[in-house]
Structures are given as C-alpha cells and as structure tokens.
Copies of this chain bind each other. A is one copy, B any other.
Amino acid sequence: MSKTIPPFSHLLPRQNESEIIKFDERNQTDDFKKIIRAMGLKITEQRMLILRCLHDAEVQSGERHVTAQELFEKVAAVDSSVGFATVYRFLRNLAEKKFVTEVRMGGQSSRYELTTQHHHDHLTCTSCGKICEFENPKIEKLQSQVADHFGFILTSHILELYGLCPSCQAKPPVK
C-alpha cells in the first residue's frame, strides 16, 4: 500500500511532525470525523457520506470542481434517502470553514473543490469543459498593485480564463 496524505491534513489543526499518521482506507473514517468536529458540527451518516463522495470523486475519479448537483447525484447513488438540501448545506459549511473552495464560473452554478495548499485560478475550455488550474504570482502581485492604486484593501478576486483546449482545437466545431 502506498503512503498517502491524509485528506484535508493541511487544513486540520497542525500536529507534531512525528504524529502525522499514514492514511489508508482503515482510518479514512476517522479523518472525516476529525474534519466534521473541526467544523464544530455533529457527526452524522449523511455528512460522512458526503465527505466520502467528495473525496473519492477527486482521488479516485480525478473529478475536481463538481457542482452541488453532481455531488448530490453521487451521494444519492449510494443512499437515495439523503436530501439535496443536506448536501447543499454541508457544502456551504465546508466552504465557510475553507475545507472546500467555491468556484464561480461566469453565470453558471458554483463548483466546489477540495481546498489546495496554494491559491490557484482556472482556465476552462468552453467547448468540452476541461479545467486547468494555474498559479501565477505575477498576476497576483499586479492585482494587489491595482487595488493599492485605488486605495482599496484587496480581499478576494475572481480570475477565470476561457478558451479552446488543444483537443477541441483539433475537432471540427460542434455546430
């Protein structure tokens, strides 16, 4: 079994370096519980399942940036009794506590991703939906300079680039 990093570990209260626990299936459950407790919420089956679906979508299927609806469908596939509002509410909780990051692309519905150690922005293919993440310190710095110039205290920003990905450039136009 390969050594993996505990989910969300960079966001949980920091522990002694030697205490960092190797993560495997066996204690995924415990890790999720820690996260829910860290949010000051009660542990429920629903929240555990939502967290698992969110984590698996990313780690197993490589699907970052899911919508609330998509996550709800994954959850419902396992337990159809879980309501949409529960998924939605918990996603909002996770976003408030920064365990997930909400990404708003244009006028579409919000997408959610596990929060990364470093801030990043997105480049999206308007034809197939492919999303690339990038980190560009120069752009970030220029943004601060713009805010400074107007005397603003910069608190956040949205930067989304849209274009055609390499494989969509090759294909004939859809319509």
Give me the interface of A with B, judged by CB distance under 8 Å: 104-107, 110, 123, 125-126, 132, 134, 136, 138-139, 142-143, 146-147, 149-166, 169
The CA of A159 and the CA of B161, in the complex, are separated in Å by 9
**Cβ-defined contact, B159 with A163, below 8 A:** no
The CA of A139 and the CA of B140, in the complex, are separated in Å by 9
Task: A125-B152, A139-B146, A154-B163 are known; give 16 further A-B pairs, CB within 8 A.
Answer: A105-B158, A106-B158, A123-B152, A136-B142, A138-B138, A142-B142, A143-B159, A146-B161, A147-B161, A153-B164, A153-B169, A155-B164, A156-B161, A156-B163, A157-B162, A159-B159
Residue of B nearest to A165 (CB): B152
The CA of A138 and the CA of B149, in the complex, are separated in Å by 15
Give which listed residue, B126, B152, B161, contacts A143 with CB less than 8 A: B161
The CA of A134 and the CA of B155, in the complex, are separated in Å by 17
**What 7 pairs between A and B have smallest CB-CB spacing?**
A152-B163, A151-B166, A154-B163, A153-B164, A158-B160, A157-B161, A156-B162
